[in-house]
Chain A
Amino acid sequence: MKKQPIFFGVLAAFVLATSVAGCGNAEPKPVAIDEKVDKCDTCNMLVHNNQYAVEMVQKNGKAMKFDDLGCLVSWTDKNGTEQVEAQFVRDYHTSEWVKIEEATYVFDQEIETPMAYNVISFKKKTDAEAFLAKHGHGELLTYDELLEHGWERNKDMMKKLMEKHKKGMSGGHGGASTDGQKMDGHGGASTDGHKTDGHGGMSNNGHSTGGSEMSGSGMKSGM
C-alpha cells in the first residue's frame, strides 16, 4: 500500500513536533476561552470569557473550562487532583490568567458569580484588599484558606432564607431586596457587562440600595 509511507511520515512529523513543543514549554499555559462553543465541564453552561471563567490543564494537556471557580472546585472534589497539572483563575479587574496558588480571593454572599459560589480572584493582594475595603464586608482568602472554604452556595442560603421568610410572613416581598441586578453593567469595574449573564443575583441580604433600577449609574456594593 502506497499510503503507508504517507501515514507514517505524518505521524512521525507529529510526534517530532510535539516532543519539540513539549520540551519548549514545560510550564503549562492556559488555553484561550472560545465563547462561541466552550461550555463549563461541570454545569454545561456556555462559558463567557470574563473574570469568573477559570481553567484547569490536565497532565495530558487537556484543558477543562469552568464558568465559576466553584464549578472547578466541584470537579476536583469529585475527580481528585491526580490528573491536574495546573489551575488558573482570573484577575477580577483585568481578566488576566493567574495560577490558582498565586491569587488572592474574596468571598462574600453579595458578590455575584455565574453559578452563585460568590468567590472572586485577584492577582495582587492589594487589589483584593482594596476591593474588600470598598465593598465593606466579606472575607479575604489566601489559596490555603480557599482550600478550607466551604463553598456553600448562596442558593442554599437563599433556600433557607426563603423558607424562613415563607414561614414568617405570607407573600409580599417585605424588606428583602436584592442588590446588583441592574440591567446594565456596573459603572466602575472593568470588563464585566455580563451581570445578568450568569446566575448571580442571589444575594438576599436585605440591604436595599437603589439597585433595583435597571440602570447602573453607579457602582453599588454588590459589585
Chain B
Amino acid sequence: MSVWFIAKREMQIGFRNPWSYSFLLLFSVFSISLLLIQSNQSMGFQGYTHATGTMINLTLYLLPMMTLLLGSFSLTAEKEDGSWTLLSTYALSSSSFLIGKFLGLSVVLLAILATGLGLYGVVGVWAGQPLTFSGVTAYVSFSAALLFLYLALAVVVGSLAKNRWQALTYGVGIWFVTVLAWPTLLIAVLNTLPYPVIKPALGLLTLFNPAELVRIVTVTRLGGGAVFGPDYYQWIDWINSQWGIATALVFGCFWMIGFLGLSSWIWERGRGRG
C-alpha cells in the first residue's frame, strides 16, 4: 500500500519536475535528430546495419545518462529538501519507499521515452522513412531495457549520494565506465590475464554492464549475432532461441531486485545513523 502511495507521489512530483521537462525536450530533439542523421537510405531498424548500429550507439550515449541523473536526483532531493525526514516518521520501510520511488520514476522515464520514440515514429512516417513495426518495437524494447537496468543503478547512486552534486559525480562516473571507457578499461585489465581466461572474464564482466549487455542482446535479436564471432556462438544461439527473451527478463528481474535490495540496505544504514 505504501509502495503505491510513494509511487503515486513520485509520479506527481516527476511530471512537475523541471528536470523531467528538460529531459523530455532533449530526448524529443534527440529522436528527431536520429531521423535527420539517417535520412539517406534503407534505414529504420531493419536488421543490423550501419543505421541501426548508429542509433544504438547514440541512444547508449544519452539514455543511460538521462536515467542515472533523473533517478538519483529524485532520491537526493528527498534528502536535501527534508521530505524524507518527514516520511520516515511514518511506519514506512526503506524498501517499500525505494520500490515506490523506482516504480514512479519508471513511469516518468517511460513517458519521456514514449514521447521521444512516438515523435520518431510519427515524423519518420511523415518523412517517408521505411519504418517497420518490428523495427520500431525492437527499438522500444531496447530503450526500455536500458532504462530499467540503469534506473536500478540510479537508485543505488541516489541512496549513496548525500546531495545532488555527489549524485552527479557518481552518475557520470558510472556512465563513463559502462559506456564510454568500457572497451578501453577492459582491454587494459584483461590484457594482463592469461589468454584462456580473457573470454570468460570478459563475458562475466559484460553481465555487469547493462549498456553492453542490452546492446549485444539487441544486435543478436536483430540477426547480427554472428558479428561477435565464433567465441560467442553458444551465447548467440541461446539469445536467439525461444529461451532468449525469457532469460533476459529473468536476468533483468534479478538485476533490479539485487540493486534495489542493495540500495535499501544502504538507505537503512543511513536511516539508523540519522
Question: Which chain A residues have a beta carbon within 8 Å of chain B's beta carbons?
Answer: 1-3, 6-7, 10-11, 14-15, 17-18, 22, 34, 36-39, 58, 60-63
Q: Which of B179-234 contact A (CB under 8 A)?
A: 189, 193-197, 200-201, 204-205, 208, 230, 233
The residue in B173, B174, B189, B194 that gathers the most chain A C-beta atoms within 10 A of its C-beta is B194
In the complex with contacts A1-B174, A62-B195, A37-B230 CB distance below 8 A: yes
Please tell me if B139 contacts chain A, counting CB pairs below 8 Å. Answer: no
Distance of A10 Cα from B190 Cα, bound (Å): 12
List of A residues within 8 angstroms of B230 by Cβ: 34, 37-39
Contacts of A3 in B (CB 8 A): 153, 174, 177, 208
Expressed in whole angstroms, the minimum distance between the Cβ of B134 and any Cβ of chain A is 28
Asked whether, in the complex, the Cβ of A22 is within 8 Å of the Cβ of B194, the reply is yes
Q: Are B208 and A14 in contact (CB under 8 A)?
A: no
Q: Please, could you name 13 A-B residue pairs with CB atoms under 8 Å apart, sorted by A?
A: A1-B174, A2-B156, A2-B160, A11-B189, A14-B197, A14-B201, A15-B193, A36-B233, A37-B230, A37-B233, A60-B194, A60-B195, A61-B194
Asked if B201 contacts A61 (CB within 8 A), the reply is no
Q: In the bound complex, what is the Cα–Cα distance between A14 and B193 (angstroms)?
A: 9
DSSP majority for the B interface?
Answer: helix
Q: With an 8 A cutoff between CB atoms, is B262 at the interface?
A: yes
A7 to B230, CA, bound (A): 26
Is B205 a contact partner of A10 (Cβ separation < 8 A)?
yes
What chain A residues lie within 8 Å of B201 (beta carbons)? 10-11, 14
Determine if A61 and B205 form an interchain contact, defined as CB atoms under 8 angstroms apart: no
Task: Judge if B255 is at the interface, Cβ distance under 8 Å.
Answer: no
Give the residues in chain A near B120, CB-CB below 8 Å: none
Q: Which 8 A-B pairs have the closest CB atoms?
A: A37-B230, A61-B195, A60-B195, A62-B195, A61-B196, A18-B197, A61-B194, A14-B201
A62: nearest chain-B partner, CB-CB: B195
Q: List B contacts of A62 (CB < 8 A).
A: 195-196
Q: How far is the CA of A38 from the CA of B231 in the complex (A)?
A: 9
Residue B170 interfacial (CB < 8 Å): yes
CB distance from A67 to the nearest CB of B (A): 15
> What is the CA–CA distance of A84 and B89 in the complex, to the nearest angstrom?
69
| Residue picked from A2, A6, A39, most chain B C-beta under 10 Å | A2
Q: How far is the CB of A193 from chain B (nearest CB, A)?
A: 24
Complex alpha-carbon distance, A82 and B201, angstroms: 26
- The B218-266 residues at the A interface (CB cut-off 8 A) are 230, 233, 262, 266
Contact with A along B105-136 (1 / 0, CB 8 A): 00000000000000000000000000000000
- Shortest CB distance A1–B (Å): 5
Residues of A within 8 A of B193 (CB): 14-15, 18
